[in-house]
Amino acid sequence: MNRSGFNPGALNEYLAESQDQLERLTLLLSPGAGLTVTTDGINSIYRELHTLKGNSQLFGCTQLASVAHTLESSIDCARKKGDGISHELTDEVFKGLGLLEKIVKTLQKDFNEGDFSADITRLVSSLTDIISRTMNGASISIGHDSILTSQPKHVENILANEPTASPAVTPKPAPVPIAAAFPTPAPALTPTPAVAPVLHAVEKVEAPPKSVEGQTGDAEKKSAAAHAEANSETLRVQVNLLDNLMNLVGELVLVRNQVIQRSNSHSEDAEFVNLSQRLDVITTELQNEIMKTRMQPIGTILTKFHRLIRDMARDLNKDINLKLEGTETELDKTLIEAVKDPLTHIIRNSIDHGIESREERASKNKTKSGTIQIRAFHEGGQIVIEIIDDGRGLQRQKIGNKAIERGLITAEQFKKMSDREVCNLIFLPGFSTAEKVSNISGRGVGMDVVRTNIEKIGGVVDITSVEGNGSTMRLKIPLTLAIVPALLVKTDGQCFAIPQVKLTELVRLQRGDGHGENRIEYLQGQAVFRLRGRLLPLLSLEDLLGLKT
Protein backbone atom coordinates (compact mmCIF):
# COMPACT_ATOMS: atom_id res chain seq x y z
CA MET A 1 0.00 0.00 0.00
CA ASN A 2 1.15 3.56 -0.69
CA ARG A 3 1.81 5.23 2.65
CA SER A 4 2.77 8.63 1.20
CA GLY A 5 -0.37 10.17 2.68
CA PHE A 6 0.80 9.51 6.23
CA ASN A 7 3.09 11.65 8.34
CA PRO A 8 6.55 9.97 8.61
CA GLY A 9 6.59 10.80 12.31
CA ALA A 10 3.30 8.97 12.82
CA LEU A 11 4.59 5.98 10.85
CA ASN A 12 7.76 5.83 12.95
CA GLU A 13 5.65 6.07 16.10
CA TYR A 14 3.48 3.20 14.87
CA LEU A 15 6.52 1.02 14.09
CA ALA A 16 8.09 1.77 17.47
CA GLU A 17 4.84 0.88 19.22
CA SER A 18 4.63 -2.32 17.15
CA GLN A 19 8.10 -3.30 18.36
CA ASP A 20 7.02 -2.70 21.95
CA GLN A 21 3.91 -4.81 21.42
CA LEU A 22 5.97 -7.69 20.01
CA GLU A 23 8.25 -7.55 23.05
CA ARG A 24 5.24 -7.63 25.37
CA LEU A 25 3.76 -10.55 23.43
CA THR A 26 7.02 -12.50 23.72
CA LEU A 27 7.04 -11.90 27.46
CA LEU A 28 3.38 -12.89 27.85
CA LEU A 29 3.98 -16.14 25.96
CA SER A 30 6.99 -16.96 28.19
CA PRO A 31 5.68 -17.09 31.78
CA GLY A 32 8.73 -18.97 33.06
CA ALA A 33 10.00 -22.45 33.74
CA GLY A 34 7.27 -24.93 34.60
CA LEU A 35 4.52 -22.31 34.29
CA THR A 36 1.68 -21.96 31.81
CA VAL A 37 0.04 -18.86 30.41
CA THR A 38 -2.82 -17.82 32.69
CA THR A 39 -6.31 -16.87 31.55
CA ASP A 40 -5.47 -13.21 32.15
CA GLY A 41 -2.30 -13.72 30.14
CA ILE A 42 -4.23 -15.20 27.22
CA ASN A 43 -6.65 -12.26 27.30
CA SER A 44 -3.71 -9.84 27.33
CA ILE A 45 -2.15 -11.62 24.34
CA TYR A 46 -5.46 -11.39 22.51
CA ARG A 47 -5.78 -7.65 23.22
CA GLU A 48 -2.20 -6.93 22.13
CA LEU A 49 -2.75 -8.75 18.83
CA HIS A 50 -6.12 -7.04 18.35
CA THR A 51 -4.52 -3.61 18.86
CA LEU A 52 -1.60 -4.45 16.57
CA LYS A 53 -4.03 -5.56 13.88
CA GLY A 54 -6.09 -2.38 14.13
CA ASN A 55 -3.04 -0.10 14.05
CA SER A 56 -1.65 -1.98 11.04
CA GLN A 57 -4.93 -1.62 9.16
CA LEU A 58 -4.97 2.09 9.91
CA PHE A 59 -1.55 2.54 8.26
CA GLY A 60 -2.33 0.18 5.39
CA CYS A 61 0.15 -2.50 6.48
CA THR A 62 -2.00 -5.33 5.20
CA GLN A 63 0.50 -8.15 5.68
CA LEU A 64 1.17 -7.15 9.28
CA ALA A 65 -2.56 -6.93 9.87
CA SER A 66 -3.11 -10.34 8.25
CA VAL A 67 -0.54 -12.09 10.45
CA ALA A 68 -1.80 -10.34 13.59
CA HIS A 69 -5.37 -11.29 12.69
CA THR A 70 -4.43 -14.92 12.08
CA LEU A 71 -2.67 -15.14 15.45
CA GLU A 72 -5.54 -13.31 17.14
CA SER A 73 -8.06 -15.81 15.76
CA SER A 74 -5.93 -18.74 16.91
CA ILE A 75 -5.58 -17.34 20.42
CA ASP A 76 -9.33 -16.68 20.46
CA CYS A 77 -9.95 -20.38 19.75
CA ALA A 78 -7.72 -21.41 22.66
CA ARG A 79 -9.41 -18.81 24.85
CA LYS A 80 -12.89 -20.11 24.08
CA LYS A 81 -11.88 -23.72 24.60
CA GLY A 82 -10.61 -22.83 28.08
CA ASP A 83 -7.72 -25.34 28.20
CA GLY A 84 -4.94 -22.78 27.80
CA ILE A 85 -2.43 -22.53 24.97
CA SER A 86 -0.87 -25.85 23.97
CA HIS A 87 2.88 -26.18 23.39
CA GLU A 88 2.23 -26.86 19.73
CA LEU A 89 0.15 -23.71 19.34
CA THR A 90 2.68 -21.68 21.33
CA ASP A 91 5.45 -22.76 18.95
CA GLU A 92 3.44 -21.61 15.94
CA VAL A 93 2.49 -18.32 17.60
CA PHE A 94 6.19 -17.69 18.28
CA LYS A 95 6.86 -18.32 14.59
CA GLY A 96 4.13 -15.81 13.80
CA LEU A 97 5.77 -13.24 16.09
CA GLY A 98 9.05 -13.86 14.30
CA LEU A 99 7.32 -13.17 10.99
CA LEU A 100 5.82 -9.97 12.41
CA GLU A 101 9.30 -8.84 13.48
CA LYS A 102 10.63 -9.44 9.96
CA ILE A 103 7.85 -7.36 8.44
CA VAL A 104 8.36 -4.53 10.95
CA LYS A 105 12.11 -4.45 10.24
CA THR A 106 11.38 -4.33 6.50
CA LEU A 107 8.96 -1.44 7.05
CA GLN A 108 11.54 0.46 9.09
CA LYS A 109 13.86 0.65 6.09
CA ASP A 110 11.62 2.50 3.63
CA PHE A 111 8.02 2.02 4.85
CA ASN A 112 7.64 -0.86 2.37
CA GLU A 113 6.31 -4.19 3.65
CA GLY A 114 7.95 -6.36 1.01
CA ASP A 115 6.37 -9.65 -0.01
CA PHE A 116 5.87 -12.22 2.76
CA SER A 117 2.86 -13.92 1.20
CA ALA A 118 4.56 -17.35 1.09
CA ASP A 119 5.48 -17.13 4.78
CA ILE A 120 1.95 -16.03 5.67
CA THR A 121 0.45 -18.92 3.70
CA ARG A 122 2.67 -21.42 5.55
CA LEU A 123 1.73 -19.91 8.91
CA VAL A 124 -1.98 -19.99 8.08
CA SER A 125 -1.72 -23.62 6.97
CA SER A 126 0.07 -24.68 10.17
CA LEU A 127 -2.32 -22.86 12.47
CA THR A 128 -5.36 -24.15 10.59
CA ASP A 129 -4.08 -27.70 11.01
CA ILE A 130 -3.43 -27.25 14.75
CA ILE A 131 -6.80 -25.62 15.40
CA SER A 132 -8.72 -28.26 13.41
CA ARG A 133 -7.01 -31.09 15.34
CA THR A 134 -7.29 -29.63 18.83
CA MET A 135 -10.67 -27.89 18.94
CA ASN A 136 -12.76 -31.10 19.06
CA GLY A 137 -14.81 -30.40 15.98
CA ALA A 138 -15.52 -26.76 16.87
CA SER A 139 -12.70 -25.51 14.71
CA ILE A 140 -12.48 -22.37 12.68
CA SER A 141 -10.62 -21.82 9.45
CA ILE A 142 -7.99 -19.15 9.33
CA GLY A 143 -7.33 -17.22 6.16
CA HIS A 144 -4.98 -14.29 5.79
CA ASP A 145 -6.96 -12.61 3.02
CA SER A 146 -10.34 -12.71 4.73
CA ILE A 147 -9.28 -9.96 7.08
CA LEU A 148 -10.22 -7.54 4.33
CA THR A 149 -13.77 -8.83 3.86
CA SER A 150 -15.40 -9.10 7.27
CA GLN A 151 -14.38 -6.20 9.46
CA PRO A 152 -15.89 -4.91 12.68
CA LYS A 153 -17.55 -1.52 12.38
CA HIS A 154 -14.68 0.49 13.84
CA VAL A 155 -12.24 -1.04 11.33
CA GLU A 156 -14.63 -0.33 8.45
CA ASN A 157 -14.64 3.31 9.52
CA ILE A 158 -10.85 3.38 9.56
CA LEU A 159 -10.66 1.94 6.06
CA ALA A 160 -13.31 4.35 4.80
CA ASN A 161 -11.33 7.33 6.09
CA GLU A 162 -7.96 6.24 4.67
CA PRO A 163 -6.30 8.41 1.98
CA THR A 164 -7.51 7.84 -1.56
CA ALA A 165 -3.90 7.13 -2.55
CA SER A 166 -4.20 3.79 -0.79
CA PRO A 167 -6.23 1.51 -3.08
CA ALA A 168 -4.57 -1.67 -1.81
CA VAL A 169 -6.99 -1.96 1.11
CA THR A 170 -10.08 -2.25 -1.06
CA PRO A 171 -11.99 -5.30 0.19
CA LYS A 172 -11.62 -8.35 -2.02
CA PRO A 173 -13.14 -11.83 -1.89
CA ALA A 174 -11.39 -14.11 0.56
CA PRO A 175 -10.51 -17.69 -0.37
CA VAL A 176 -11.01 -18.85 3.24
CA PRO A 177 -13.65 -17.22 5.50
CA ILE A 178 -13.14 -16.75 9.22
CA ALA A 179 -16.36 -18.23 10.43
CA ALA A 180 -15.99 -17.50 14.11
CA ALA A 181 -13.81 -14.43 14.32
CA PHE A 182 -16.44 -11.76 13.70
CA PRO A 183 -20.26 -11.61 13.99
CA THR A 184 -20.77 -10.29 10.46
CA PRO A 185 -21.17 -13.32 8.20
CA ALA A 186 -18.62 -13.63 5.41
CA PRO A 187 -19.80 -13.83 1.78
CA ALA A 188 -20.81 -17.30 0.70
CA LEU A 189 -17.89 -18.92 -1.04
CA THR A 190 -17.29 -22.35 -2.46
CA PRO A 191 -14.80 -24.00 -0.10
CA THR A 192 -11.62 -25.43 -1.55
CA PRO A 193 -10.95 -29.14 -0.93
CA ALA A 194 -8.19 -28.24 1.55
CA VAL A 195 -10.49 -26.34 3.90
CA ALA A 196 -13.79 -28.15 3.31
CA PRO A 197 -13.37 -30.50 6.31
CA VAL A 198 -12.69 -27.55 8.58
CA LEU A 199 -15.71 -25.63 7.32
CA HIS A 200 -17.84 -28.74 7.75
CA ALA A 201 -16.70 -28.90 11.36
CA VAL A 202 -17.70 -25.28 11.85
CA GLU A 203 -21.24 -26.02 10.66
CA LYS A 204 -21.62 -28.46 13.55
CA VAL A 205 -21.23 -25.74 16.14
CA GLU A 206 -24.66 -25.44 17.77
CA ALA A 207 -24.42 -21.90 19.11
CA PRO A 208 -22.58 -19.18 17.24
CA PRO A 209 -19.75 -17.60 19.19
CA LYS A 210 -20.28 -14.25 20.81
CA SER A 211 -19.19 -11.14 19.00
CA VAL A 212 -15.53 -10.39 19.43
CA GLU A 213 -16.42 -6.72 19.50
CA GLY A 214 -18.83 -7.34 22.33
CA GLN A 215 -16.40 -9.50 24.24
CA THR A 216 -13.53 -7.09 24.02
CA GLY A 217 -15.29 -3.74 24.00
CA ASP A 218 -14.89 -2.97 27.70
CA ALA A 219 -11.42 -4.44 27.78
CA GLU A 220 -10.37 -2.34 24.81
CA LYS A 221 -11.74 0.80 26.43
CA LYS A 222 -9.79 0.06 29.61
CA SER A 223 -6.70 -0.76 27.59
CA ALA A 224 -7.05 2.43 25.56
CA ALA A 225 -7.50 4.50 28.72
CA ALA A 226 -4.43 2.94 30.31
CA HIS A 227 -2.48 3.47 27.11
CA ALA A 228 -3.51 7.13 26.93
CA GLU A 229 -2.53 7.64 30.56
CA ALA A 230 0.86 6.02 29.94
CA ASN A 231 1.41 8.16 26.84
CA SER A 232 0.71 11.32 28.83
CA GLU A 233 3.63 10.45 31.11
CA THR A 234 6.14 9.34 28.49
CA LEU A 235 7.72 10.86 25.41
CA ARG A 236 9.65 9.13 22.62
CA VAL A 237 12.90 10.94 21.86
CA GLN A 238 15.41 10.33 19.08
CA VAL A 239 18.50 8.54 20.41
CA ASN A 240 20.85 10.97 18.63
CA LEU A 241 19.30 13.85 20.59
CA LEU A 242 20.12 12.08 23.84
CA ASP A 243 23.64 11.36 22.57
CA ASN A 244 24.19 15.04 21.78
CA LEU A 245 22.82 16.03 25.17
CA MET A 246 25.13 13.52 26.85
CA ASN A 247 28.13 14.95 24.97
CA LEU A 248 27.24 18.46 26.11
CA VAL A 249 26.91 17.27 29.71
CA GLY A 250 30.31 15.63 29.35
CA GLU A 251 31.81 18.97 28.31
CA LEU A 252 30.04 20.65 31.22
CA VAL A 253 31.55 18.09 33.62
CA LEU A 254 35.04 18.92 32.32
CA VAL A 255 34.42 22.64 32.83
CA ARG A 256 33.07 21.90 36.32
CA ASN A 257 36.25 20.00 37.19
CA GLN A 258 38.43 22.87 35.96
CA VAL A 259 36.44 25.37 38.02
CA ILE A 260 36.77 23.21 41.14
CA GLN A 261 40.54 22.91 40.64
CA ARG A 262 40.78 26.69 40.24
CA SER A 263 38.68 27.24 43.37
CA ASN A 264 41.06 25.02 45.36
CA SER A 265 43.91 27.37 44.48
CA HIS A 266 41.79 30.46 45.30
CA SER A 267 40.34 29.33 48.60
CA GLU A 268 40.56 32.87 49.97
CA ASP A 269 37.75 33.94 47.60
CA ALA A 270 34.77 32.60 49.57
CA GLU A 271 32.17 33.69 47.00
CA PHE A 272 34.00 31.94 44.16
CA VAL A 273 34.37 28.77 46.25
CA ASN A 274 30.63 28.78 47.06
CA LEU A 275 29.72 29.22 43.38
CA SER A 276 32.01 26.38 42.35
CA GLN A 277 30.45 24.11 44.97
CA ARG A 278 26.96 25.01 43.74
CA LEU A 279 28.05 24.33 40.15
CA ASP A 280 29.41 20.97 41.28
CA VAL A 281 26.09 19.94 42.86
CA ILE A 282 23.94 21.04 39.90
CA THR A 283 26.25 19.47 37.30
CA THR A 284 26.32 16.18 39.18
CA GLU A 285 22.51 16.09 39.42
CA LEU A 286 22.17 16.97 35.73
CA GLN A 287 24.67 14.27 34.81
CA ASN A 288 22.78 11.66 36.83
CA GLU A 289 19.40 12.60 35.32
CA ILE A 290 20.75 12.50 31.76
CA MET A 291 22.26 9.12 32.50
CA LYS A 292 18.83 7.84 33.54
CA THR A 293 17.37 8.72 30.13
CA ARG A 294 19.82 6.31 28.49
CA MET A 295 19.18 3.46 30.89
CA GLN A 296 16.95 0.53 29.95
CA PRO A 297 16.07 -2.66 31.83
CA ILE A 298 18.18 -5.55 30.64
CA GLY A 299 15.00 -7.61 30.51
CA THR A 300 14.31 -6.07 27.08
CA ILE A 301 16.86 -8.49 25.61
CA LEU A 302 16.78 -11.31 28.17
CA THR A 303 13.09 -12.09 27.60
CA LYS A 304 13.78 -12.65 23.89
CA PHE A 305 15.91 -15.67 24.74
CA HIS A 306 12.78 -17.64 25.64
CA ARG A 307 12.06 -18.07 21.95
CA LEU A 308 15.69 -18.90 21.07
CA ILE A 309 15.87 -21.61 23.73
CA ARG A 310 12.45 -22.99 22.83
CA ASP A 311 13.31 -23.27 19.12
CA MET A 312 16.81 -24.73 19.60
CA ALA A 313 15.65 -27.18 22.26
CA ARG A 314 12.97 -28.46 19.90
CA ASP A 315 15.49 -28.84 17.05
CA LEU A 316 17.97 -30.71 19.29
CA ASN A 317 15.25 -32.83 20.95
CA LYS A 318 16.03 -31.46 24.42
CA ASP A 319 13.89 -30.11 27.25
CA ILE A 320 15.25 -26.79 28.53
CA ASN A 321 13.75 -24.22 30.89
CA LEU A 322 14.90 -20.61 31.15
CA LYS A 323 14.93 -18.76 34.47
CA LEU A 324 15.51 -15.01 34.60
CA GLU A 325 16.52 -12.93 37.62
CA GLY A 326 17.14 -9.20 37.77
CA THR A 327 15.38 -8.30 34.53
CA GLU A 328 14.70 -4.86 36.01
CA THR A 329 18.45 -4.15 36.30
CA GLU A 330 19.17 -1.08 34.16
CA LEU A 331 22.00 -0.66 31.70
CA ASP A 332 23.00 1.97 29.15
CA LYS A 333 21.13 1.43 25.86
CA THR A 334 24.41 1.27 23.93
CA LEU A 335 25.72 -1.47 26.20
CA ILE A 336 22.47 -3.43 26.00
CA GLU A 337 22.92 -3.60 22.23
CA ALA A 338 26.60 -4.51 22.69
CA VAL A 339 25.95 -7.49 25.00
CA LYS A 340 23.10 -8.96 22.95
CA ASP A 341 25.31 -10.93 20.53
CA PRO A 342 27.75 -12.23 23.20
CA LEU A 343 24.83 -13.42 25.32
CA THR A 344 23.31 -15.15 22.30
CA HIS A 345 26.60 -16.98 21.63
CA ILE A 346 26.85 -18.11 25.26
CA ILE A 347 23.26 -19.37 25.41
CA ARG A 348 23.56 -21.21 22.10
CA ASN A 349 26.74 -22.82 23.42
CA SER A 350 24.99 -23.88 26.64
CA ILE A 351 22.10 -25.40 24.70
CA ASP A 352 24.32 -27.26 22.24
CA HIS A 353 27.28 -28.33 24.43
CA GLY A 354 26.08 -27.88 28.01
CA ILE A 355 22.58 -29.28 28.45
CA GLU A 356 22.42 -33.03 27.87
CA SER A 357 19.81 -34.96 25.92
CA ARG A 358 16.85 -36.45 27.77
CA GLU A 359 18.45 -39.91 27.69
CA GLU A 360 21.81 -38.71 28.99
CA ARG A 361 20.21 -36.74 31.81
CA ALA A 362 18.12 -39.77 32.78
CA SER A 363 21.26 -41.95 32.93
CA LYS A 364 22.83 -39.42 35.33
CA ASN A 365 19.72 -39.30 37.55
CA LYS A 366 19.08 -35.68 36.57
CA THR A 367 15.71 -34.10 35.91
CA LYS A 368 14.40 -34.58 32.38
CA SER A 369 14.45 -30.83 31.75
CA GLY A 370 17.70 -28.90 31.84
CA THR A 371 17.79 -25.35 33.17
CA ILE A 372 19.57 -22.24 31.97
CA GLN A 373 19.47 -19.37 34.45
CA ILE A 374 20.41 -15.77 33.64
CA ARG A 375 21.02 -13.40 36.55
CA ALA A 376 21.74 -9.66 36.32
CA PHE A 377 22.72 -7.51 39.30
CA HIS A 378 24.84 -4.55 40.42
CA GLU A 379 28.25 -5.13 41.96
CA GLY A 380 30.78 -2.43 42.78
CA GLY A 381 29.52 0.15 40.29
CA GLN A 382 29.30 -2.40 37.50
CA ILE A 383 26.71 -4.82 36.11
CA VAL A 384 27.26 -8.54 36.47
CA ILE A 385 25.47 -10.98 34.17
CA GLU A 386 25.70 -14.66 35.03
CA ILE A 387 24.62 -17.46 32.69
CA ILE A 388 24.30 -20.70 34.66
CA ASP A 389 23.38 -24.12 33.30
CA ASP A 390 22.99 -27.49 35.02
CA GLY A 391 24.41 -29.47 32.11
CA ARG A 392 27.46 -31.67 31.73
CA GLY A 393 29.97 -28.93 32.53
CA LEU A 394 33.36 -28.48 30.90
CA GLN A 395 35.47 -31.62 30.56
CA ARG A 396 39.07 -30.81 31.52
CA GLN A 397 40.72 -33.68 29.66
CA LYS A 398 38.67 -33.18 26.49
CA ILE A 399 39.48 -29.45 26.41
CA GLY A 400 43.17 -30.14 27.06
CA ASN A 401 43.42 -32.78 24.35
CA LYS A 402 41.73 -30.51 21.81
CA ALA A 403 43.99 -27.55 22.72
CA ILE A 404 47.11 -29.73 22.38
CA GLU A 405 45.82 -31.12 19.07
CA ARG A 406 45.32 -27.58 17.74
CA GLY A 407 48.80 -26.54 18.89
CA LEU A 408 47.41 -23.95 21.30
CA ILE A 409 49.32 -25.39 24.29
CA THR A 410 51.82 -28.16 24.97
CA ALA A 411 51.23 -31.30 27.03
CA GLU A 412 53.61 -29.99 29.70
CA GLN A 413 51.73 -26.70 29.93
CA PHE A 414 48.44 -28.56 30.28
CA LYS A 415 49.70 -30.60 33.25
CA LYS A 416 50.57 -27.40 35.14
CA MET A 417 47.33 -25.56 34.39
CA SER A 418 44.64 -25.03 37.01
CA ASP A 419 41.00 -25.91 36.28
CA ARG A 420 40.19 -22.21 35.81
CA GLU A 421 43.01 -21.81 33.28
CA VAL A 422 41.82 -24.88 31.38
CA CYS A 423 38.26 -23.52 31.29
CA ASN A 424 39.49 -20.25 29.83
CA LEU A 425 41.06 -22.10 26.88
CA ILE A 426 37.61 -22.10 25.25
CA PHE A 427 38.06 -18.37 24.58
CA LEU A 428 41.13 -18.92 22.36
CA PRO A 429 40.64 -18.20 18.62
CA GLY A 430 39.79 -21.30 16.63
CA PHE A 431 39.06 -23.48 19.66
CA SER A 432 36.07 -25.84 19.60
CA THR A 433 35.34 -29.26 21.09
CA ALA A 434 32.49 -29.96 18.68
CA GLU A 435 32.92 -33.24 16.83
CA LYS A 436 31.38 -31.81 13.66
CA VAL A 437 30.50 -28.42 12.24
CA SER A 438 26.79 -27.55 12.33
CA ASN A 439 24.66 -24.46 11.89
CA ILE A 440 24.87 -24.04 15.68
CA SER A 441 28.54 -24.58 16.54
CA GLY A 442 31.84 -26.18 15.63
CA ARG A 443 33.71 -23.38 13.85
CA GLY A 444 35.64 -22.17 16.89
CA VAL A 445 34.70 -18.49 16.63
CA GLY A 446 31.78 -18.08 19.06
CA MET A 447 33.49 -17.83 22.45
CA ASP A 448 36.45 -15.92 21.01
CA VAL A 449 33.97 -13.31 19.73
CA VAL A 450 32.28 -13.22 23.15
CA ARG A 451 35.49 -12.25 24.96
CA THR A 452 36.57 -9.80 22.25
CA ASN A 453 33.23 -7.97 22.20
CA ILE A 454 32.93 -7.79 25.99
CA GLU A 455 36.48 -6.45 26.36
CA LYS A 456 35.73 -3.81 23.71
CA ILE A 457 33.19 -2.24 26.06
CA GLY A 458 35.51 -2.39 29.05
CA GLY A 459 34.15 -5.62 30.50
CA VAL A 460 35.64 -8.95 31.53
CA VAL A 461 34.51 -12.55 31.02
CA ASP A 462 35.15 -15.43 33.39
CA ILE A 463 33.95 -19.02 33.54
CA THR A 464 33.77 -21.65 36.25
CA SER A 465 32.62 -25.22 35.77
CA VAL A 466 32.19 -28.48 37.63
CA GLU A 467 32.35 -31.51 35.36
CA GLY A 468 28.98 -33.22 35.37
CA ASN A 469 27.20 -30.40 37.21
CA GLY A 470 27.17 -27.45 34.82
CA SER A 471 28.95 -24.18 34.14
CA THR A 472 28.69 -20.51 35.08
CA MET A 473 29.69 -17.76 32.66
CA ARG A 474 30.19 -14.40 34.35
CA LEU A 475 30.21 -11.10 32.45
CA LYS A 476 31.22 -7.94 34.29
CA ILE A 477 30.58 -4.72 32.38
CA PRO A 478 30.40 -0.98 33.16
CA LEU A 479 27.06 0.73 33.63
CA THR A 480 27.78 3.14 30.78
CA LEU A 481 30.49 4.20 28.36
CA ALA A 482 29.24 7.78 28.11
CA ILE A 483 30.91 9.06 31.29
CA VAL A 484 33.62 7.11 33.11
CA PRO A 485 34.42 8.18 36.71
CA ALA A 486 38.19 8.31 37.13
CA LEU A 487 40.91 9.02 39.69
CA LEU A 488 43.25 11.82 38.60
CA VAL A 489 46.93 11.45 39.52
CA LYS A 490 49.88 13.72 38.75
CA THR A 491 53.49 12.75 38.21
CA ASP A 492 56.39 14.58 36.62
CA GLY A 493 54.08 17.50 35.84
CA GLN A 494 51.62 15.36 33.87
CA CYS A 495 48.06 14.36 34.81
CA PHE A 496 46.65 10.85 34.26
CA ALA A 497 43.15 9.40 34.72
CA ILE A 498 42.61 5.88 36.08
CA PRO A 499 39.05 4.51 35.67
CA GLN A 500 37.53 3.90 39.08
CA VAL A 501 36.21 0.48 38.03
CA LYS A 502 39.84 -0.64 37.67
CA LEU A 503 40.65 0.38 41.26
CA THR A 504 40.30 -2.09 44.11
CA GLU A 505 41.39 0.04 47.06
CA LEU A 506 43.18 3.31 47.89
CA VAL A 507 45.71 3.30 50.74
CA ARG A 508 47.46 6.38 52.11
CA LEU A 509 51.09 5.54 52.92
CA GLN A 510 53.40 7.22 55.43
CA ARG A 511 56.53 8.89 54.15
CA GLY A 512 59.90 8.94 55.88
CA ASP A 513 60.67 6.91 58.96
CA GLY A 514 57.09 6.44 60.12
CA HIS A 515 56.16 3.69 62.51
CA GLY A 516 52.47 3.34 61.54
CA GLU A 517 50.75 0.37 59.95
CA ASN A 518 51.11 1.72 56.39
CA ARG A 519 54.72 2.82 56.50
CA ILE A 520 57.03 2.25 53.54
CA GLU A 521 59.70 -0.40 54.06
CA TYR A 522 62.63 -1.49 51.92
CA LEU A 523 63.55 -5.06 51.10
CA GLN A 524 66.86 -5.45 49.23
CA GLY A 525 66.46 -1.91 47.95
CA GLN A 526 62.86 -2.44 46.75
CA ALA A 527 60.15 -0.27 48.32
CA VAL A 528 57.35 -2.38 49.84
CA PHE A 529 54.52 -2.05 52.34
CA ARG A 530 52.38 -4.46 54.34
CA LEU A 531 48.63 -4.56 53.74
CA ARG A 532 46.73 -6.76 56.17
CA GLY A 533 49.74 -9.05 56.54
CA ARG A 534 50.56 -9.23 52.82
CA LEU A 535 53.82 -7.76 51.53
CA LEU A 536 53.18 -5.70 48.37
CA PRO A 537 55.77 -4.02 46.10
CA LEU A 538 55.63 -0.25 45.49
CA LEU A 539 56.10 0.80 41.88
CA SER A 540 56.79 4.30 40.62
CA LEU A 541 54.44 5.61 37.91
CA GLU A 542 57.31 7.64 36.49
CA ASP A 543 59.43 4.51 36.09
CA LEU A 544 56.57 2.45 34.64
CA LEU A 545 55.79 5.09 31.99
CA GLY A 546 59.42 6.00 31.36
CA LEU A 547 58.88 9.64 32.24
CA LYS A 548 62.14 10.22 34.07
CA THR A 549 64.75 11.99 32.00
Could you report the per-residue pLDDT of 204-214, keeping only the tens digit for each? 333 334 444 44
- For position 99, what pLDDT does the model report? 92
- For position 440, what pLDDT does the model report? 56
**Over the Cα atoms of the chain, what is R_g?**
30
Residue 3 lies in a domain: no
Number of domains observed in the structure of the chain: 4
> Cβ–Cβ contacts within 10 Å for residue 9, how many?
9
Range of the domain at 451: 298-478
- Of 2-6, 33-37, 123-127, 313-317, the poorest mean pLDDT is in 2-6
**17 lies in the same domain as 71:** yes
> Cβ–Cβ contacts within 10 Å for residue 234, how many?
8
**448 lies in the same domain as 501:** no
Query: Does position 355 have pLDDT exceeding 90, yes or no?
Result: yes
Distance CA 546, CA 549 (A): 8
**469 lies in the same domain as 321:** yes
**48 lies in the same domain as 70:** yes
**425 lies in the same domain as 532:** no
Tell the burial category of 160 from Cβ atoms under 10 Å away from its Cβ (0-12, 13-18, 19+): exposed
Residue 313 lies in a domain: yes
Residue 2 lies in a domain: no
**54 lies in the same domain as 185:** yes
- For position 483, what pLDDT does the model report? 67
> Could you give the angle at the alpha carbon of 150 between the alpha carbons of 148 and 151, nearest 5°?
80
Residue 347: which pLDDT band, with cuts at 50, 70 and 90?
Answer: very high
**349 lies in the same domain as 435:** yes
Residue 436: which pLDDT band, with cuts at 50, 70 and 90?
Answer: low
- For position 37, what pLDDT does the model report? 81
Local structure of residue 144 (DSSP, 8 states): S
**126 lies in the same domain as 258:** no
Answer with the one of 478, 510, 531 that is the final residue of a domain: 478
**223 lies in the same domain as 356:** no
Give pLDDT tens digits for 276-289: 999 999 999 998 88
Residue 428 lies in a domain: yes
Average pLDDT along the chain: 77
Q: Would strands 494-499 and 486-491 be described as parallel, antiparallel, or unpaired?
A: antiparallel
CATH of the domain at 18: 1.20.120.160
* Pair 273, 266: CB distance under 8 Å: yes
Local structure of residue 169 (DSSP, 8 states): G
Give pLDDT tens digits for 68-90: 999 999 898 888 887 788 888 88
Residue 490 lies in a domain: no
Give pLDDT tens digits for 220-277: 444 444 444 545 577 777 778 888 888 898 899 889 988 988 888 777 788 888 999 9
* Pair 30, 327: CB distance under 8 Å: no
% of the chain at pLDDT higher than 70: 76
- For position 206, what pLDDT does the model report? 37
Residue 185: which pLDDT band, with cuts at 50, 70 and 90?
Answer: very low
**310 lies in the same domain as 292:** no
Residue 491 lies in a domain: no
**35 lies in the same domain as 111:** yes
* Pair 117, 148: CB distance under 8 Å: no
Mean pLDDT of 532-543: 86
Distance CA 395, CA 352 (A): 15
For residue 241, how many C-alpha atoms fall within 13 Å in the half-sphere facing its CB?
Answer: 5
- Of 154-168, 385-399, 478-492, the poorest mean pLDDT is in 154-168
Residue 100: which pLDDT band, with cuts at 50, 70 and 90?
Answer: very high
CATH of the domain at 334: 3.30.565.10
- For position 34, what pLDDT does the model report? 56
Residue 288 belongs to what H/E stretch? helix 270-294
**229 lies in the same domain as 259:** no
Residue 422 lies in a domain: yes
- For position 496, what pLDDT does the model report? 87
Residue 484 lies in a domain: no
